[in-house]
Amino acid sequence: MSQNPIRALTGFAQRHLPDGVRLAVRRLALGWGRATARWRQLPEIVVIGAQRSGTTTLFRMLEEHPELIRPTLSKGTGYFDDSYRHGRRWYAAHFPLRLSARLLGRGAAVRTFECSGYYLFHPLAAERVAADLPGVQVVVMLRDPVARAYSAHRHERARGFEDLDFAEALAAEDRRLGGEAERLARDPQAVSYAHRHHAYAGRSAYQPQLERWVKALGEDRVHVVEAERLFADPVGEFDALQRRLGLRRHRTSILEAWNARPGAGLDPELEARLRRRFAPDDVYVAALIGHEPAWREEQ
């Protein structure tokens, strides 16, 4: 079984086609996808975040698995966070036809998946996924919450979405995000720039996010992967995840992190303050996964 045709086509388009042509192709593909939505295969596995925790690396690992097929246009759709207003047919348009999936699998059963770094944090994503994808398995990539927050800040700054330094951004976070989660939960059509781009401490507070998903899906369908363990032992950790997802073992060839963003060291006093802040979340994560998180073992 192979999904190389999808990987090859999407890769070629991203590398070689001009932006205008790529947009036109995307519009045509979505139009055709909507017209054939009833025959398309919705995902059974969704990687939901956390941002800057290795989700791109995990996506590459899953993408090369012979029993899995990625979305046809991009690694994720953003449907269950900011694009839910587009409707179910729009979402289905991003995935292959069931007939194509069978052909790619040479008659064997294959499953589709997608990936979003914002689903974990969005206040409505869990209940939307539970309602629209019955039986779905979700995978949560977690990382040392302090390192994650610091990396997210560097990432947003590099993309032009942040002009404050890390300490200033943390101090401004409550003001920037005040009422935004409530507004998103109240208005299904709403989007929030600040909630998406400026929640550095908020997106590292893992307990409320995980509780939302466990409540919506149950513990047996929420699979936590620790980035530190995955990058230390990619083959062994990916093997363990495949067993939990009911996938046949496929030895990954992805042995290093994608989208890593190096940066200067974090101020020790600020780091200590953040570690105290996230300590209750670490206790919750330990109870959920059945052992101390890797980042706590290293301290």
Domain boundaries, the chain: 4-297
Tokens 């596995």 sit on residue: 45
Compute the chain's Rg from CA coordinates: 19
The confidence score (pLDDT) of residue 261 equals: 61
pLDDT per residue as tens, the chain (299 positions): 344 444 455 555 555 657 666 667 677 778 888 999 999 999 999 999 999 999 999 999 999 999 999 997 778 899 999 999 999 999 999 999 988 877 776 556 799 999 999 999 999 999 999 999 999 999 999 999 999 999 999 999 999 999 999 999 999 999 999 999 999 999 999 999 999 999 999 999 999 999 999 999 999 999 999 999 999 999 999 999 999 999 999 999 988 776 666 556 899 999 999 999 999 999 999 999 999 999 998 76
The confidence score (pLDDT) of residue 76 equals: 85
CATH class of 4-297: alpha beta
The confidence score (pLDDT) of residue 197 equals: 98
The confidence score (pLDDT) of residue 2 equals: 41
The confidence score (pLDDT) of residue 263 equals: 58
The pTM of this model reads 0.89
Contact 145, 206 (CB under 8 A): yes
The confidence score (pLDDT) of residue 258 equals: 64
